[in-house]
Amino acid sequence: MEQEFIQAPGQIQPHGLLLTLQESDLKILQVSKNALKLFGISASAFLNRPLSDFLNKLQFAQIQDCLNRQNLQHYNPIRLVFNIKNKKITCDGILHKYQDVLILELEIIQGQEDQNVSFFNFYHLIRASIFKIQSATNFQDLTQFLAEEIRKINGFDRVMIYQFDQDNNGIVIAEDKRQDLETFSSLHYPQTDIPTFARELFKQNWLRLLVDIDSQPVDIIPLLYPRTQKPLDLSFSVLRSGSPCHLQYLRNMGVKATLSISLIKKDSLWGLIACHNYSRRYVSYTIRKACEFIGQVMAVELPYKETSEDYQYYREILKLVRKNLLNAPALQSYFIQTLAQDQTNL
Element (H, E) at 161: strand 158-164
Domain ranges of the chain: 11-114, 117-220+235-341
Same fold, 11-114 and 117-220+235-341: yes
Alpha-carbon distance 18 to 230, whole Å? 17
What's the average model confidence in pLDDT over 153-163?
Answer: 96
Task: Judge whether residue 79 has pLDDT over 80.
Answer: yes
* Mean pLDDT (the chain, rounded): 85
Lowest mean pLDDT among 212-216, 293-297, 317-321: 317-321
The pLDDT of residue 331 is: 41
Q: Where are the alpha helices (DSSP H) in the chain?
A: 35-39, 43-46, 57-67, 111-115, 119-134, 139-154, 196-204, 244-252, 285-307, 311-327, 335-342
Task: Judge whether residue 119 has pLDDT over 70.
Answer: no
pLDDT digit string, tens, across residues 206-253 = 999 999 999 999 999 999 999 999 999 999 999 999 989 899 999 999
- 121 Cβ partners below 8 Å, 6+ apart? none
What's the average model confidence in pLDDT over 149-169?
Answer: 94
Distances (CA, A) of 198 to 2, 115, 254: 9, 34, 21
The pLDDT of residue 312 is: 58
What's the average model confidence in pLDDT over 156-172?
Answer: 94
Lowest mean pLDDT among 3-12, 239-248, 333-342: 333-342
Where does the pLDDT of residue 195 fall: very low under 50, low under 70, confident under 90, or very high at 90 and above? confident
Pick the CATH number of 11-114 from 3.40.50.720, 3.40.50.620, 1.10.1270.20, 3.30.450.20: 3.30.450.20
Where does the pLDDT of residue 2 fall: very low under 50, low under 70, confident under 90, or very high at 90 and above? very low
Under 8 Å between Cβ of 321 and 133: no
Q: How many CA atoms lie within 13 A of 120 on its CB side?
A: 0
Element (H, E) at 95: strand 87-98
What's the average model confidence in pLDDT over 114-135?
Answer: 70
In the chain, count H helices and then E strands.
Answer: 11, 15
Alpha-carbon distance 174 to 298, whole Å? 14
- Counting residues of the chain whose pLDDT is more than 90, the rounded percentage is 58
Where does the pLDDT of residue 164 fall: very low under 50, low under 70, confident under 90, or very high at 90 and above? very high
The pLDDT of residue 329 is: 44
CATH code for the part of the protein at 117-220+235-341: 3.30.450.40
CA-angle at 65, arms to 17 and 126, nearest 5°: 70
- 64 Cβ partners below 8 Å, 6+ apart? 26
Q: Which of 163, 167, 165 is nearest to 175 (CA)?
A: 163
Task: Judge whether residue 316 has pLDDT over 90.
Answer: no
The pLDDT of residue 318 is: 64
The pLDDT of residue 110 is: 74
